[in-house]
């Protein structure tokens, strides 16, 4: 998937970032610790991704006709899950930065962060599928109504 493929699809953009977070946390688990530099990157990227999730929810909620349906569909729940996981990831990485967590605990935090990144990625994948299906259904219904008129 190229940048132009994801430009109009914010959840696809989020998936690219979140998959990178999974890769970074996986590397930290393999190394049995998380460096301060990696923690800095994780804090920044996870917080930015969480803000992007908020933006997606805000954009979807602005449409008066679709807002009610969006809140009730599974993609809304999945986006909430992704937001929570990304915030958890950022907080855990922030602990390393702010409190100088010892090496023995960094490995445990690396596992926690990998779990949070994988969970966010799974939630975003489900949200994207649900949103794409909802968009296709909406288009199909629109075409059917146009054909009927």
Q: Report if residue 76 sits inside a domain.
A: yes
pLDDT computed for residue 59 by the predictor: 78
Q: Report if residue 29 sits inside a domain.
A: yes
Cα end-to-end distance, the chain, whole Å: 38
Q: Report if residue 3 sits inside a domain.
A: no
**Tally of domains in the chain:** 1
Task: Read off the pTM.
Answer: 0.77
- Segment 16-69, tens digit of pLDDT: 999 999 999 998 888 777 778 888 999 999 999 999 999 888 877 776 665 555
Residue range 83-109: mean pLDDT, rounded: 85
pLDDT computed for residue 102 by the predictor: 73
Torsion from C-alpha of 90, 95, 100, 106, nearest 10 degrees? -80
CATH at 79? 1.20.120
Q: Which position has the token pair 């970074």? A: 24
The whole domain housing 27 covers 8-143
Is the separation of the CB atoms in 117 and 34 below 8 Å?
no
Q: Report if residue 61 sits inside a domain.
A: yes
C-alpha count within 13 angstroms, C-beta hemisphere, residue 107: 5
Q: Report if residue 148 sits inside a domain.
A: no
């Amino acid at each position: 998937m190229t940048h132009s493929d994801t430009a109009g699809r914010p959840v696809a953009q989020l998936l690219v970032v979140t998959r990178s977070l999974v890769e970074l946390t996986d590397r930290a688990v393999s190394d049995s610790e998380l460096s301060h530099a990696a923690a800095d990157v994780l804090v920044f990227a996870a917080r930015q991704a969480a803000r992007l999730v908020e933006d997606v929810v805000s954009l979807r909620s602005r449409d008066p006709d679709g807002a009610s349906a969006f809140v009730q569909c599974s993609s809304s729940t999945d986006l909430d899950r992704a937001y929570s996981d990304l915030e958890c990831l950022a907080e855990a990485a922030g602990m390393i930065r702010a409190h100088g967590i010892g090496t023995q605990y960094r490995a445990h935090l690396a596992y926690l962060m990998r779990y949070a990144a994988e969970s966010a990625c799974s939630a975003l994948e489900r949200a994207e599928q649900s949103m794409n299906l909802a968009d296709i259904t909406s288009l199909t219904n629109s075409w059917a109504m146009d054909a009927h008129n």
